[in-house]
Amino acid sequence: MKLTKEQQQEIKDLQSQDNKTKRVVAPQLESILFEAIPILDHGFVRVIDYMGDDTSIVQAARVSYGKGTKKVSTDSGLIKYLMRHWHSTPFEMCEIKYHIKLPIFIARQWIRHRTANVNEYSARYSILDKEFYLPSQENLAAQSKNNRQGRGEVLTGDQAEEVLNLLKSDAERTYDNYETMLNERYDGTVINEKKSGLARELARMNLTLNTYTQWYWKTDLLNLMNFLRLRADSHAQYEIRAYADVMLDTLKKWVPITFEAFMDYRVGGTEVSSKGKRVLKDLISGKNINIDSSGLSKREWNELMNAFDLDKKIVK
């Protein structure tokens, strides 16, 4: 991750502030506020601002005054109840804003979560940094044979080296052409005083998708958890999961009681259909039940067996 001297100084200045407030604060989150947490090779996540904490959720649920109840155990019980029964609006009362630097292809996947306020770095107005995401070799893998949007076996040796060289050379070549079309280097220097550069809004279309962009991403706690439930999952693409894992840690620092309930009921828990519930009841009672008599599809059956570690009944 590369930060300019100006960015480093800005972070120091922001972190050195000593503002007094009557609003609730999350001490652990305050300790990393504005800090650029490195992700991948050039990316980062920064918490810029937030509103509310665990007590804000309790207060909203009870529509009460002040900070709600005095007992943490009581607050914890209520938050767990809200999470367990899918009560959503109290969690919407808390908000958080991130500054994120990420490859364009991950940004395009990320933006599918249409539940946030987003303001992205403008390549119509400014020149994008000369930085590209290049995967480490352990993250280079072939297309999965049984998952159309996943990875299979890791590439090794000459094949991996060839792919990395192609990614690097293509990114560098297209960026050089980008500068040529602009008639301007990314540091602002003009290449040829006698030439007019192509408009930035046109020149940018030549760049590769591993070029880095940046944005401010603001969302409420409910939709942050919905995002993390999908993107911090082991089945998510590695690159977006790297960001989600760091954001999961900021969630823990921000609302630790909600984090615990989220990990228990959303991440560690599982949903069971009415048919699946009936299958589990039959298995517990000792009945001889199989996929044919269950009424479940092969995928549903295997997901149910996996969720409860009933591997001996997995259907190949």
pTM, full prediction:
0.89
Instruction: Find out whether 289 and 277 touch, Cβ atoms under 8 Å.
Output: no
Q: Among 231, 241, 266, 299, which one carries the catalytic annotation?
A: 231
Query: Residue-wise pLDDT tens for the chain (316 aa)?
Result: 677 788 888 888 888 888 888 889 999 999 999 999 999 999 999 999 999 999 999 999 988 665 554 566 788 999 999 999 999 999 999 999 999 999 999 999 999 999 999 999 999 999 999 999 999 988 888 776 766 667 778 778 888 899 999 999 999 999 999 999 999 988 889 988 989 999 999 999 999 999 999 999 999 999 999 999 999 998 899 999 999 999 999 999 999 999 999 999 999 999 999 999 999 999 999 998 899 999 999 999 999 999 998 876 777 6
Whose CA is closest to 107, among 34, 247, 209, 226?
209
| Domains of the chain by residue range | 5-127+211-267, 137-206, 274-313
Active site residue 114: no
Alpha-helix runs per DSSP H in the chain: 5-15, 27-30, 54-62, 72-84, 104-110, 157-182, 200-203, 221-231, 238-254, 256-262, 274-284, 291-294, 298-307
Between CA 263 and CA 199 the distance in angstroms is 48
CA angle 163, 168, 170 (to 5 degrees): 95
With b meaning 16 or more CB within 10 Å and e meaning fewer, what string describes 278-295? ebbeebeeeeebebeebe
Per CATH, domain 5-127+211-267 is 3.30.1360.170:
yes
Paired tokens of 176: 């050089």
The label of the residue with tokens 């602009």 reads 182
Residues ≥6 apart with Cβ < 8 Å to 189: none
